[in-house]
Amino acid sequence: MVRDPVPSLAAPLLPPHTAAMRPLRVGMIGIGTVGAGTFRVLARNQALIAGRTGRGIKMVVVCARSLARAMSVVGKDVALTNDPMQVATHPDVDVLVEAAGGTGPARDWVLAAIRAGKHVVTANKALLAVHGNEIFAAARQHGVAVAYEGAVAVSIPIVKALREGLSANRIEWVAGIINGTTNFILSKMRDEGVGFAEALAQAQALGYAEADPTFDIEGIDAAHKISLLAANAFGMPVRFADAQVEGITALQGLDVACAEQLGYRIKLLGVARRRNEGVELRVQPALVPATHLLAHVNGSMNGIMVKGDAAGVTMFYGAGAGSEQTASAVIADLVDVARLDGTSAAQRVPHLGFHTHAMDEQLAVLPRAAVHTRHYLRVPVHSAQQIEAVGAWLAAQQVPVLQVALANDKSLPPGSGVQVLVLTDAVAQSTVDLAVHALAAHPAVAGPVAALRVEVLEG
């Protein structure tokens, strides 16, 4: 009996031609937290990365404000400059890593690199949220790739999951905790009963919050990220300017305690949901059932859920910030570029997951008033006997009330007074806004009415 020869199982680590392949040459602008982490991980794991990539990845030039500090990180074998454009247009650079941040000069550097025929890797979510459509269009025109896994929930490969792993699915919604600073603050408010200001001060002391935390606590950073996720999920342009954004600066510890009493926890969520009439694109603090997986994403961690029509609900969890955590995503993008460098654009994964002809340029973002969700209302009243009046009045205003209860004053901060807690069924935001405005004038009401959305995130 004649048998075919059995091939050897001891295949070489790399194909014979790989050793002769030129390394992918990288120029990087910025050697701060992200840049330094990228260089360290790339140097530490270079053999492993080359084994996965099929070729080496070599840092050839770095731009930094302080050349002395840069040399202390990268050593003497990497060329240094303080001119970003020199890196963006350097003839020996194949791919630009933009690690400086910001939206103004960074746009100019990235576009210059693209025009020079260089691929771009960035973790700059603000840049892509504001200028992404222009940058992606330029990249298509010049046949180069723009990769940005590190721009959203850095240690979580959520962009790759949407564009590749879930590419067979019609995505129904993407939602999650995508800002570690605010999640740390909300966790402290719940676990230690402290107010917003004290929790923010703790976050700053531990390095989780910047000296100017505006982008985080006002929800802007999360809005940058959910805008990018929505584009990849639904095949639409990046619509950051249309997102509804609400931060946590007005959130009271009283509501954190009341939510807990009702069986919920408050999280700052980014939500992108496909409806028949358009897309919800929003960031806001919301009540999540205490039994829900996202309710257990605490501290500075991130958690993202995606619902597809075929896969159902999937969840992704990991660190949303950090030097080497971001580097992990940046280098993963470099590996993709190294593997596909020299291939035609048609063979690459599209920047936003859909090829240009399939993008829905007209897909509308729903206005705030049209968003339907459940709601939580906290109504301060003069006496406990007025609970029935509040429930009846809301029902008369076409607000579908599911539950009305008195807050347990033993679990509330001192001096909170009598609080009526209301949970509604799904209702348009416009209806809730009108009811809250009118309720403030009701004789039973003793102060401002608090209103928050409730997200069930059903499977």
Q: What is the CA radius of gyration of the chain?
A: 25
Q: How many CB atoms lie within 10 A of CB 75?
A: 11
Residue 291 neighbours by CB distance under 10 Å:
10
Task: Say if residue 7's pLDDT is above 70.
Answer: no
pLDDT higher than threshold 50 for residue 38: yes
Beta bridge partners of 283: 245, 270
pLDDT digits (tens, 9 = 90+) for 303-345: 999 999 999 999 999 998 899 999 999 999 999 999 987 788 8
**Which residues does residue 304 pair with via DSSP β-bridges, in sequence order?**
176, 316
Buried-state track 351-384, b at ≥16 Cβ within 10 A, e below 16: bbbbeeeebeeebebbeeeebbbbbbbbbbbeee
Residue that is written with structure tokens 């302080």 in the block: 66
Distance CA 338, CA 358 (A): 27
- The label of the residue with tokens 């985080």 reads 216
- What is the C-alpha to C-alpha distance for residues 431 and 415, in angstroms, rounded to an integer? 31
Cβ neighbours for 343, distance < 8 A, ≥ 6 positions apart? none
Q: What is the pLDDT of residue 2?
A: 43
What element of type H or E holds 319?
A: strand 312-319
Stretch (H or E) spanning 267: strand 264-275
Which tens digit of pLDDT belongs to each residue from 86-111? 999 999 999 999 999 999 999 999 99
Which residue in 118, 225, 267, 307 is the catalytic one? 225
pTM of the model: 0.93
Long-range contacts of 113-118 (CB under 8 A, 24+ apart): 113/88, 113/89, 114/138, 114/139, 114/142, 114/144, 114/146, 115/142, 116/88, 116/89, 117/142, 117/143, 117/144, 118/27, 118/88, 118/93, 118/94, 118/144
Q: How does DSSP assign 26-81, residue by residue?
A: EEEE--SHHHHHHHHHHHHTHHHHHHHHSS-EEEEEEE-S-HHHHHHHH-SSSEEE
pLDDT average, residue stretch 63-91: 96
| pLDDT tens figures, 148-201 | 999 999 999 999 999 999 999 999 999 999 999 999 999 999 999 999 999 999
58 is catalytic: no
Tokens of 374: 């459940």
Q: Are the beta carbons of 285 and 376 closer than 8 angstroms?
A: no
Q: Residue 14: CA atoms inside 13 Å, Cβ hemisphere, count?
A: 16
